[in-house]
Structure 1
Amino acid sequence: MTASLDLSLRTLPQRTRDFLVSLARHPGTEFDAPAACALTGVGLPTARRLLGDLYEHHLLAEPTRGRYRFHDLVREYLRGQRSGAAREESDDGGVGHLLDHYLHTARAADRLLLGDRSPVGVPEVIAEPRVMEPEFTDAAEARAWLETEWENLAVAARHAEREGFHGHAMALPAALLEYLRTSGDNTLSLELQTVAVRVATAHGEPANLACALTDLGHVQTLVGQISRARENLEPALELIGVEGHPQARANSLLRLGIVLRLVGDYGGARPLLVEALELRERSREPRGSPRYSTSSGYSAPGRVTTETLSNSRRVPSSSSVPPATRSGPHCPSITGVSLVGSTPTTRPASPTSPRPLRSTRPTATAPERRSPSSGPPWWRHGPGICPMRSTI
């Protein structure tokens, strides 16, 4: 095998050979021309031409039009062709540009999915992609790109943590949070938000850690890990503090208030939700405000609406409310407060016929996706949400 690959590489022009060796640094399994451009530094037209040449030489596979992958043995062989010094000198630049490409595009897609919701506290990573493609015109195009690239984005976040790209390791999970929530993939979201918390704890600012803890607590609430969510949301609120960013504090108060209601602590939840409403009314942002900011604090990917929080004024004290009627072991039936940002994209026809989480092309190395039946008791009702979503 090695002799055959040696011969194949010797027949290639030097530029094509260098391009091929650089491509082997991609941490994922598949890539397109814009990703190849970011990683190797060639122009986009040149990247497309060279990818076609390598496909014709059977050094790359093209499982779907415009997307390429290595055979495992070819990738390992190519990674061994580069000296240690040359690898260390060039890898950070190429991989850094690749992470910039994924982060920039994921943020652009996330903005379209979120609309007017504007979290703060996400690390300000100045992503400078070498090519401004793809560009999205609507949320449908953005979601389609995320459907294709979610695995590469997850791998990129893990790779960023491992290789010391701390800002990317905290920002990529935040950019994926809304997509994974609406896709029902809370297992992957839990993993990525844990990565963000781990990196923020070791290398981030207090605002970054508050951001990561709030995101993690939000996902834990969705999957029924209520006690763990509370353990993360309480220190997130402390990090923001009374003088923190008003929108950040409002959202953390809301998240924690929801958790307290889920455990039946209505008296504790009420002042948090009322304060969240008041902060939101004082710091209402115009539609289209910046999505990412390094302001102190964090506004979780969800919108605190006046209608949502004003209902909390009608929440009676815990002493006058009987225990909540439950529709499942982790899902009390509570009225008055809506879970922020929890409108699903679709609802299944019936509890016995859930829709697939996403349509992903099967590959030899792709991880097995979780089915809706493998989650908490209410998972069958929709993509990662509680059947009582309109009243939580």
Structure 2
Amino acid sequence: MGGGTLDAAGAQTSDDLAGLLRALRRRHARQQRGGELTYRALAARTGWSHTAIAEYLTGKTLPPTDRLDALVRLLGATPAEQGALATARDRIEESRRRAPRAPDRLVPRQLPADVASFAGRDDELAGLDKLVAAPTAVVVAAISGTAGVGKTALAVHWAHRVAERFDDGQLYVNLRGFDPGGQALSAAKALRGFLDALGVPAARVPADLDAQAALYRSVLAGKRILVVLDNARDAGQVRPLLPGTSAAAVLVTSRNQLTSLVSLDGAHPLPLGLLTRDAASRLLANRLGVDRVAAEPEAAEVIVAACARLPLALSIAAARAQQSGFPLATLATELGTAGQRFGVLDAGDAVGEVRAVFSWSYTALTATTAGLFRLLGLHPGPDITMPAAASLAGLPADEVHRLLTELTRANLLTEYRPGRFTAHDLLRAYAAELSAGTDPEPDRRAATTRMLDHYTHTTHAADELLRPHSDPADHLLTPPTAGVRPERPTTHAEAMAWLTAEHPVLLAALRQAASAGFDAHAWRLGRALDTFLDRQGHWHDRVETCRAALLAAERLGDPVAQAVAHRFLAGAHTVVSQYADAHGHLERALELYVRSGDTEGEARTHQNLASLWDRQGETRKALDHSKRTLALAQAAGHRRAQADALNAVGWCHAQLGEHIRALAYCEQALELLQQLGDRAGEAATWDSLGFAHHHLGQYGQAVEYYERTLDLTRDLGDRWGEADTLSRLGDTHDALGDPTSARADWHRALDIFTALNHPDAATVRAKLQLP
């Protein structure tokens, strides 16, 4: 541009604006007959950070109006140029305001599928439309009515109709407020599910319910989002799940009227009665076809009347007609008897009436399918896959696939996600009731054993892929019961995917095992979940599962199982900084191992103590325990424990400034770990080597070793390990005179530590000179 007037006509992006500013800077340098003002020099003259200056001049950040004016005056812009630049900035800001949201933002779309046969409810739909037309505060609609009246169908159908109004997404949860087993979903668990769907890492979610609710409201602040809270028990279960933003809308369904929610929280009551006669007839025609209903209009009217215009009953009756192919008159005759048991529907529970309707679909099943349906009542939920169902039933997978398809077609099961099946709470209660009344107790216990074997053995196989284990107790895993076909993930990625998908099911299975006397399954399942829960930051779940495993091991009276459980519970306590509890469990584990003469277990416990002291800054104590571990591992000939101990001893020497000695130990560890194929141990050792080389001034070597660590930690899904190494890599780049790379490393580390709600975030923030 030389010395002429700047032309801002084409300045439509921040890169263009940054280019104009850089041109001013170069012209200023020529006019002053000197070099360009550096970022730090400009920062010194303006009082802003040199980082901000750099971001303005590289187009990473759009300067505020006042700063842009001051900057261009400093660089000698003419009044005309100042005006042109200000106009360009305003155009960019306006363009950004109108631009669509970034395509990679996380937008939850959790609504279940719409009901294809939905009919009626025109007044209710219009009322909901009116509520959200011009909200001045968060809109809460409380849909109440008897069981099976179509509360969920209405909520989901309307939610799909208005989904486009809520471009920040739709959240959905079944609160199971009237679960026959009494296991209503807690507000805390519902909140954790929502926060996960909104992209909040599990480790960042606080344990306290009020803090979880506050975080939830913060995440939703200003978002146009629709929240559907299905099957609520009472207002207390709902209240923590209400957003605080006027841009949101909430639909709550419940068999209760939720008077407290209406009176105290301003919810709009929407009582839902039975379908009108016309709407009930349309629902039946939607399911069976207009021609079939028109061919037998009298029988259709009898069916509608016998079902009391209850949507759930009508849907199941229609499924019976579809399956059997019998004339509608035959179904009407059956309903003439069974329908008398429905009674007059009121605000009470309709389970008695619905049970009779369920029986029509159940009795139409083949014997084998009916048997599977009953066994599904033994599953703790919230859903089940085909392989797990096959183990539960003790049948081949292809046969179970056919049975699940039959149950889905009969509306006794729903495939709400590909390969994952669930059922309404009343259907689950019906299945459990049938099983209790039909299947002998030994058969029920055998089925539960097969199910728990499936989850325990598959979790163990997945855990072996995350980090190979060789605890003596691991060798005691008994073969699965006959008929059980555990899943066999073959790669680390497959293992992580399976554990992630089954996480809530596995926790439910562990609780069931612990409460029903399956103690061997409870302690082994808790043990096998440990690595996954730790790496993914599910630290509160980790404490719970390890505690359940310990209690089960104590009931078993197995000292080896108790020692392992104490050791892993100590690890869970250590991560959440409960150091006193961790010490207590490790002392008890050490006592049990010594009493049992288990040298290998004793060595591992000393290594756990070394890690615990290292976290507390007691390096000398950590070194003593690491050396004790090494001696015991060498005496026992246990190569894996020996490799870990070599790295631990090296790390302690590096912390004490003895870096040459550190390298000697860590290099031995690395060679052994690579022979064993232990990638997690290898990652830790590359990190130790990087630390030692950094402090020897060998920065290039340190960078190489840290980058190898990062490759492994990212592949392993070890979020904390990745952030910890990034922080040190930033230190090395800074020492190399590369502050740009250093800051990039520190920023990435800070993002992860912040997401994990880890205290190390403060250390990295200080490196970045952030408040």
For normalisation by structure 1, the TM-score amounts to 0.75
CA distance in 2, matches of 1:208, 1:380: 38
Indicate the larger mover: 204-213 or 117-126: 117-126
Question: Residues 134 and 128 from structure 1, CA distance in 2 versus in 1: closer, same or farther, beyond 3 angstroms?
Answer: same
State the shift of 1:345 in Å: 3.0
CA distance in 1, matches of 2:596, 2:520: 25
Query: Is the Cα contact below 8 Å between 1:124 and 1:167 reproduced in 2?
Result: no
Equivalent residue, structure 1, for 2:649: 309
Specify the code of the residue in structure 1 equivalent to 2:560: A
Question: Residues 238 and 255 from structure 1, CA distance in 2 versus in 1: closer, same or farther, beyond 3 angstroms?
Answer: same
- Is structure 2 residue 471 aligned with structure 1 residue 119? yes
Equivalent residue, structure 2, for 1:8: 361
- Is structure 2 residue 539 aligned with structure 1 residue 158? no
Query: Is the Cα contact below 8 Å between 1:31 and 1:69 reproduced in 2?
Result: yes
State the shift of 1:230 in Å: 0.8
Query: Is the Cα contact below 8 Å between 2:391 and 2:486 reproduced in 1?
Result: no
CA distance in 2, matches of 1:15, 1:268: 62
The percent identity for this pair of structures is: 27
State the shift of 1:269 in Å: 3.6
Q: Which stretches of structure 1, 4 residues or more, deviate above 6 A after TM superposition?
A: 379-382
CA distance in 2, matches of 1:103, 1:92: 16
- Is structure 2 residue 718 aligned with structure 1 residue 345? yes
Question: Residues 345 and 82 from structure 1, CA distance in 2 versus in 1: closer, same or farther, beyond 3 angstroms?
Answer: closer
Query: Is the Cα contact below 8 Å between 2:562 and 2:589 reproduced in 1?
Result: yes
| 1:260-287 deviation line (CA, Å, top 9, x unaligned) | 3444545544322211122223334468
| 1:313-371 deviation line (CA, Å, top 9, x unaligned) | 6776xxxxxxxxxxxxxxxxx999xxxx997534466366449xxxxxxxxxxxxxxx9
State the shift of 1:381 in Å: 10
State the shift of 1:86 in Å: 3.4
Question: Residues 230 and 83 from structure 1, CA distance in 2 versus in 1: closer, same or farther, beyond 3 angstroms?
Answer: closer
Equivalent residue, structure 2, for 1:228: 581
Query: Is the Cα contact below 8 Å between 1:123 and 1:208 reproduced in 2?
Result: no
Alignment of 1:200-279 (within 5 A): 200-241=553-594, 244-279=597-632
Indicate the larger mover: 237-246 or 27-36: 237-246
For normalisation by structure 2, the TM-score amounts to 0.40
Secondary structure of 1:304 counterpart: helix
CA distance in 2, matches of 1:143, 1:204: 32
- Is structure 2 residue 569 aligned with structure 1 residue 184? no
Query: Is the Cα contact below 8 Å between 1:257 and 1:272 reproduced in 2?
Result: yes
Query: Is the Cα contact below 8 Å between 2:453 and 2:484 reproduced in 1?
Result: no
Question: Residues 112 and 312 from structure 1, CA distance in 2 versus in 1: closer, same or farther, beyond 3 angstroms?
Answer: same
CA distance in 1, matches of 2:524, 2:374: 28
Corresponding residue to 2:398 among 35, 38, 45: 45
Equivalent residue, structure 1, for 2:480: 128
| 1:184-228 deviation line (CA, Å, top 9, x unaligned) | 101101000000111222323111111001000011111111111
Secondary structure of 2:472 counterpart: coil
Which segments of 5 or more consecutive residues in structure 1 lack a partner in the other structure? 288-298, 317-333, 356-370, 383-392
Question: Residues 180 and 75 from structure 1, CA distance in 2 versus in 1: closer, same or farther, beyond 3 angstroms?
Answer: same
Equivalent residue, structure 2, for 1:195: 548
Secondary structure of 2:382 counterpart: coil
CA distance in 1, matches of 2:644, 2:408: 50
Corresponding residue to 1:377 among 759, 766, 770: 759
Corresponding residue to 1:168 among 489, 503, 521: 521
Equivalent residue, structure 2, for 1:294: none
Equivalent residue, structure 2, for 1:102: 455
Specify the code of the residue in structure 2 equivalent to 1:218: G
- Is structure 2 residue 502 aligned with structure 1 residue 149? yes
CA distance in 2, matches of 1:89, 1:110: 31
Query: Is the Cα contact below 8 Å between 1:97 and 1:128 reproduced in 2?
Result: yes
CA distance in 2, matches of 1:196, 1:39: 23
CA distance in 2, matches of 1:55, 1:146: 25
Query: Is the Cα contact below 8 Å between 2:629 and 2:645 reproduced in 1?
Result: no
Alignment of 1:51-90 (within 5 A): 51-83=404-436, 86-90=439-443
Indicate the larger mover: 58-67 or 81-90: 81-90
Indicate the larger mover: 345-354 or 191-200: 345-354
Structure with bigger helix share is: 2
| 1:94-147 deviation line (CA, Å, top 9, x unaligned) | 0101111111111111111113x4222348241415243532221111111111
